[in-house]
Amino acid sequence: MTTVDNADQPVREAPRGVLARHPLISFFVMAYAFAWLVELPVVLSETGTGLLPYTLPKPVIALSLAAATYLGPTVSAFIMTGVTEGRAGIRRLLRRYVQWRVGVQWYLFVLVGIPIIILLGAIVVPGVLASFEPLTLSLILAYPLAFVTTLLLGGPLGEEPGWRGFALPRLQRRNGPLLGSVILGVLWALWHLPLFWTGVWTPPTIPNILMFIVMITALTIIMTWVFNHANGSLLITMLMHASFNTFANKVEAPLFPAPILNEFGLLPVLIGFTATALVLIAVTRGRLGYEHYHPEEIADAGSRREVQQSE
């Protein structure tokens, strides 16, 4: 009797599903679909476009928009991480939520530097500096609560696991840090489009939408620079996201009630973030600190160990 030694036979890989073959496309399709389905009732209501004759209470609108951030980027990120990296990948993603050892300079940048950038962007707009109003004590005392509320319900905690947790590492690896950031910035901005028609956001004019897309793309370039230097920490990007949202909405507007900002409220952040992004591109030659980012190597090593243990 003869035996066949299969040791030298080629090992066939198990067929991969469409999600695993196209992880980035699958992620963005899910992130858009899940979020837009939740936001659609608000957009169609009397509060939004008025296409359907019903009105939603303000708490319901607020909760719907907050839920969209979690059901869009976060759920999509965990689904696709599970598909592409398994349970070990999900654990790595969760650990990045609390990756706090990133250097005190990055906390200073996101909590103090971002507000300064917004302020500098505001004071160069004609007529804005002359409208300056001192901060009130009540506004100062309310800022920490506003920051925490924004962190939890205003987008940072719900969005960052998707944009920076899942998409950015893959976009950087495939397209490089600068082009990857531009792609992510445009897709991140377009994901917000329904919010312009909810009645609670900036009016959906063409200038406002275009300014928003450019501003978000510039912000994404800055966030990539921070993300890379923080070695993929989601905590620092969540804090940066919350810092921008809270300061721009709760402090910058009361500080400078200039008429021009009633119509073009995005101008200060557009100017500040675009100028900062251009400086970072020039100084880093488009690398945006990518040489400091290493989680892909860790993830690949972990995946190899899992494969070896399962054989």
- Per-residue pLDDT, 202: 83
- Per-residue pLDDT, 261: 86
- Per-residue pLDDT, 135: 87
Q: How far is CA 269 from the centre of its chain?
A: 16
| Chain segment 44-53, per-residue pLDDT in tens | 999 999 999 9
Q: How far is CA 52 from the centre of its chain?
A: 31
Alpha carbon distance 211, 119 (integer Å): 17
- Per-residue pLDDT, 263: 80
- 234-246 and 114-123 helices cross at what angle (nearest 10)? 30
Alpha carbon distance 157, 150 (integer Å): 9
- Per-residue pLDDT, 17: 87
Please give the model's pTM, rounded to 2 decimal places. Answer: 0.89
Q: Is 285 exposed, middle or buried (0-12, 13-18, 19+ CB in 10 A)?
A: exposed
- 267-284 and 114-123 helices cross at what angle (nearest 10)? 120
Alpha carbon distance 169, 182 (integer Å): 13
Query: Within 13 Å of residue 82, how many CA atoms lie on the same side as its CB?
Result: 6
**Token digits of residue 135:** 């901060």
Alpha carbon distance 147, 153 (integer Å): 10
Residues 6+ apart with CB under 8 A from 122: 128, 129, 252, 255, 256, 261, 267, 268, 272
Alpha carbon distance 244, 253 (integer Å): 13
- Per-residue pLDDT, 242: 98
Regions of the chain with pLDDT less than 50: 1-15, 297-311
- Per-residue pLDDT, 26: 97
**Token digits of residue 32:** 């858009």
H helices of the chain, where? 18-21, 23-44, 58-69, 75-95, 104-108, 114-123, 137-153, 156-162, 168-175, 177-191, 206-229, 234-246, 253-255, 259-263, 267-284, 295-310
